[in-house]
Amino acid sequence: IGMILMKNTTGKKIWIVKNTYKKTQAIVSALEALCLEAGFVFDEENPEIIISVGGDGTLLAALHYYETQLETVRFIGVHTGHLGFYADFQEHELEQVVEAIQNEKPDEAFKYQLLKVQIHFTDGRIKTHLALNESVIKRASKTLVADVKISDFLFEKFRGDGLSVSTPTGSTAYNKSIGGAVMHPRVHAFQVTEVASLNNLVYRTLGAPMIIAEKDAVTIELENADDYLLTVDQLEYFYDQIASVTYSLDGGVISFVNGGHTGFWHRVKNSFIGEVK
């Protein structure tokens, strides 16, 4: 993550996270000047507002960098390329970004639920990650074989390339590319989608995406193997000695500044359909 080092002034505490493209640097330079003029304090350690300049990947990186401070920090995005799902402002709207920060009220922030990813190891250890988009479990070179439990109910024995678990806001990302449903963020649920499942006379899975109620958790109980790959948004983790992975929609929330917010279905249309002739 590229960080901008600035002097302190007065006002709201902000920090700018950016991608590494040359075009972005020019945008950030102009944004810095506007923020200084507005009297914002540049504080990397304890910001109130994170401004993400780039694409959705930049914002996801910012989320994971500050994921221990999500109860006190809010995000606002400036996209520098194609319209992102988490960036409300375009590069020519920097004055509106500053205005939105000046006028924002923490209790009016847009909040999106985060997926909690709990890894249970064979030695009893537990490790927890948070995902804004999705988490995928697969093996490096072999077929994934796993028992899939919905809460305590054994639903199926899955065989295939892997399983993807996504939030509603992440439903338009990898989930959509593997045939998952697009879900509005106001639907408090999460989704399990198969990645190339094996379905024949011997093996049988549901073969369709599952929308899981907020009250339930999904546990994927794994065979003993040392080549599991777990993705959490754009991050990759290679673990061995995993006994199971449990997914639930109680990972807290990420908050976005309420200013210039683009409606979800507008984002979907702009990203995938364009103008209707």
Q: Which of the residues are catalytic? A: 56
In which element (H, E) is residue 51 found? strand 49-54
For residue 218, the cross-strand partners are: 150, 247
Angle separating helix axes 22-37 and 94-103, nearest 10 degrees: 40
Query: Which tokens in the block code for residue 248?
Result: 């639930």
Helix-strand-coil percent breakdown of the chain, rounded to 5? 20, 40, 40
Phi-psi region of 102 (alpha: psi -120 to 50; beta: other; left: phi over 0): alpha
φ, ψ of residue 38 to 5 degrees: the values are -80, -10
Query: Which tokens in the block code for residue 214?
Result: 């907020």
Residue 104 CA to residue 108 CA, distance in Å, equals 8
On whether the CB atoms of residues 132 and 70 are closer than 8 A, the answer is no
First-residue to last-residue Cα distance in the chain: 40
